[in-house]
């Protein structure tokens, strides 16, 4: 079943964060990931306005989404967005309607 990375970020050091965003597209592709939203204009309709960048990436399965995050390549790339570069949240959720 399709799964999605749903991420929110606030960025304090755009130069370091760009090092991360330059590496990630090829890593996502390796695991079948396809960015659906990666930055861009947004509106916060509910909740705190803590973040200014929103990312949604579609994967063929929950397993591939997790494998991408756990891969050595991604773990190396994500170092560029840690250590004071910004604040990030990432959740992986399966697609579909689980309430049925």
The mean per-residue pLDDT over the stretch 21-43 comes to: 95
Contact residues for 32 (Cβ-Cβ < 8 A; gap 6+): 59, 60, 64
- Indicate if the alpha-carbon torsion angle 61, 22, 85, 75 is positive or negative: positive
The mean per-residue pLDDT over the stretch 73-85 comes to: 90
Task: Say how far apart CA 61 and CA 25 lie, in whole Å.
Answer: 18
pLDDT value of residue 69: 97
Query: pLDDT tens, 8-19?
Result: 999 999 999 999
Decide if pLDDT at 97 tops 90: no
Instruction: Check if the beta carbon of residue 71 is closer than 8 Å to that of residue 29.
Output: no
pLDDT value of residue 100: 64
Fold designation for 3-94: Alpha-Beta Plaits (3.30.70)
Per-residue pLDDT band for 84 (boundaries 50, 70, 90) equals confident
Neighbours of 69 (CB within 10 A): 17
pLDDT value of residue 3: 97
- Indicate if the alpha-carbon torsion angle 55, 35, 38, 22 is positive or negative: positive
The residue assigned the tokens 């929110």 is 8
């Amino acid at each position: 079943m399709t799964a999605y990375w749903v991420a929110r970020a606030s960025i304090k050091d755009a130069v370091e964060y760009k090092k991360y965003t330059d590496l990630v597209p090829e890593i996502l592709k390796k695991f079948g990931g396809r960015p659906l939203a990666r930055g861009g204009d947004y509106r916060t309709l509910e909740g705190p306005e803590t973040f200014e960048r929103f990312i949604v990436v579609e994967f063929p399965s929950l397993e591939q989404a997790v494998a991408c995050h756990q891969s050595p390549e991604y773990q190396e790339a994500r170092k560029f967005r840690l250590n004071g570069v910004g604040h990030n949240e990432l959740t992986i959720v399966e697609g579909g309607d689980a309430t049925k």
